[in-house]
Structure 1
Amino acid sequence: MKRIFLFVMTNLAVVVVLGIVANLLGVNRFLTPNGLDLKMLLGFALLIGFGGATISLLISKPVAKWSAGVRLIKEPQNADEAWIYETVRRLSDRAGIGMPEVGIFDGAPNAFATGAFKNSALVAVSTGLLQGMTREEIEAVIGHEIAHIANGDMVTMALIQGVMNTFV
């Protein structure tokens, strides 16, 4: 609930700032002769802000999979994949969230978690991370990503990024 309140307040704050700046610049004198109204435009901006952020959140998981080239582990093909999958399962159970999708992507040491809902998220780790770290270190990174899911951090960041993409 706090997250939704902050999301609404962020959108309202952006619209208020837009309104103040538009009034200071005298934008209304250009709008009125063309049949437009500053309040109408600010309402439209608010609608676009909410819509853009919501769409950004809902497509965050498929976009992350596509952009990073994530290969999902549905059935582990080797011992390393089985270990990663079971580590994610164990840590997500401990955190009290649903089992996220698990994936691997090529690249430098990195990992991420994303998704609109705690019980249908994605945790992905890079091949660079798997090759350059010990199992204990990898488990710590996966635990960190699971904590992001459990805390709802990915939802917060997707909503904030949606607001930024919409208004900036």
Structure 2
Amino acid sequence: MIRRIALFLATNLAVLVLLGIVMSVLEKAFGIQPGQNGTLLVFAAVFGFGGAMISLLMSKTMAKRSTGAQVITQPRNEVERWLFQTVERQAQAAGIRMPEVAIYDAPDVNAFATGATRNSSLVAVSTGLLRAMDRDEAEAVLAHEVSHVANGDMVTMALIQGVLNTFVLFLARVVGRTIDAMLSGNRDNDGGPSFFYYIIVTVLELVFGLFASMIAMAFSRWREFRADAGGARLAGRGKMIAALQRLAGNRGQSTLPDQIRAFGISGGIAHGLRKLMMSHPPLEERIRALREAA
């Protein structure tokens, strides 16, 4: 769990720092001066939302490639036929267009949904899930993923990440200029920042990025509770609870790539500060929430 969290943080912070470096180069090239916060905010928004939107638009293609998921176009056997018909029925009940349905080869009991819009999405299940779960439990997992799509969680997550990226990039530069001015004795070097300004900004991006990740993960945990409730409505509360109990009894290292791990159904165990960086609530909490809602 610690290694997974560290890898997730390192990946997200590395992307943020890369965006920051590119923005710093353009900031210098366009000669943005202290006090031009409006222009700076526009630059930050372009880069902050740009990265998040590109990731969203590429999410389905990247998910297929990274997991090796095989989309079911014409069901070849009874299992694929059942998967396709179940998702089709649930999509109609949820009021969304039929998602692509796929199977990917992995030993862990997992599934995920992704896609740029509610009507252009992908629902995929692992071979490990098909082996470990009965039909009722698998139906509930599919309902959970269809609920993610119906709730627009992928788009909302991208928008939240865009807002967070924007403010990280913007605040790092505003605070960085203030610290740089203090360190230089408020001397005006032709209105341009010193060399240390860029070091300060990079450090601040890492610090602010860490807090931004905590906010993004808090939303991710909340949307899991909401998708569980949606899965209970589509498949039945008993089936949803049974599916989560099965997941709790089949804990293991997720094989989902980092960029789509937050969209998987399975959750882990963490306590204290580590819990703040979890994309999913502990399964015991999710089961308890469904039982209390009943």
Instruction: State the Cα distance separating 1:161 from its structure 2 match.
Output: 4.2
Find the aligned partners of 2:165 and 2:111 in 1 and give their Cα distance: 23
1:37 aligns with 2:36: no
Instruction: State the Cα distance separating 1:41 from its structure 2 match.
Output: 3.4
1:71 aligns with 2:70: yes
Q: State the SS of the aligned residue for 1:59.
A: helix
Letter in 2 for 1:43: V
Instruction: State the Cα distance separating 1:162 from its structure 2 match.
Output: 5.1
Cα pair distance change 1:91/1:35, threshold 3 Å? closer
- Matching residue of 2:139: 139
Find the aligned partners of 1:75 and 1:142 in 2 and give their Cα distance: 19
Instruction: State the Cα distance separating 1:36 from its structure 2 match.
Output: 3.1
Q: Retained in 2: the 8 A contact 1:52–1:163?
A: no
Q: State the SS of the aligned residue for 1:114.
A: strand
Q: Retained in 1: the 8 A contact 2:45–2:163?
A: no
Q: Retained in 1: the 8 A contact 2:69–2:103?
A: yes
Q: Retained in 2: the 8 A contact 1:111–1:126?
A: yes
Between 154-163 and 91-100, the greater mean CA deviation after superposition: 154-163
Between 73-82 and 53-62, the greater mean CA deviation after superposition: 53-62
Q: Retained in 2: the 8 A contact 1:56–1:162?
A: no
Deviations 1:40-60 (A, max 9, x none): 333211111121222121111
Instruction: State the Cα distance separating 1:158 from its structure 2 match.
Output: 3.1
Percent of pairs with identical residues: 58
- Matching residue of 1:16: none
**Structure (1 or 2) with the larger CA radius of gyration:** 2
TM-score normalized with structure 2 length:
0.43
1:56 aligns with 2:52: no
- Matching residue of 1:105: 104
Aligned residues: CA RMSD: 2.2
Count of paired positions: 137
Q: State the SS of the aligned residue for 1:121.
A: strand
Find the aligned partners of 2:110 and 2:162 in 1 and give their Cα distance: 23
Give structure 1 stretches of 5+ with no counterpart.
1-30
Instruction: State the Cα distance separating 1:159 from its structure 2 match.
Output: 3.1
Letter in 2 for 1:119: N
Q: Retained in 2: the 8 A contact 1:57–1:162?
A: no
Find the aligned partners of 1:74 and 1:106 in 2 and give their Cα distance: 17
Letter in 2 for 1:88: V
1:153 aligns with 2:153: yes
Cα pair distance change 1:92/1:163, threshold 3 Å? same
Cα pair distance change 1:78/1:164, threshold 3 Å? farther
Cα pair distance change 1:42/1:139, threshold 3 Å? same
Letter in 1 for 2:135: R
Find the aligned partners of 1:162 and 1:122 in 2 and give their Cα distance: 22
Find the aligned partners of 1:105 and 1:157 in 2 and give their Cα distance: 24
Find the aligned partners of 2:67 and 2:162 in 1 and give their Cα distance: 19
Find the aligned partners of 2:161 and 2:68 in 1 and give their Cα distance: 21
Q: Retained in 1: the 8 A contact 2:49–2:165?
A: no
Q: Retained in 2: the 8 A contact 1:92–1:98?
A: yes
Q: Which runs of 4+ in 1 moved over 6 A?
A: none
Find the aligned partners of 2:165 and 2:60 in 1 and give their Cα distance: 17
Between 34-43 and 86-95, the greater mean CA deviation after superposition: 34-43
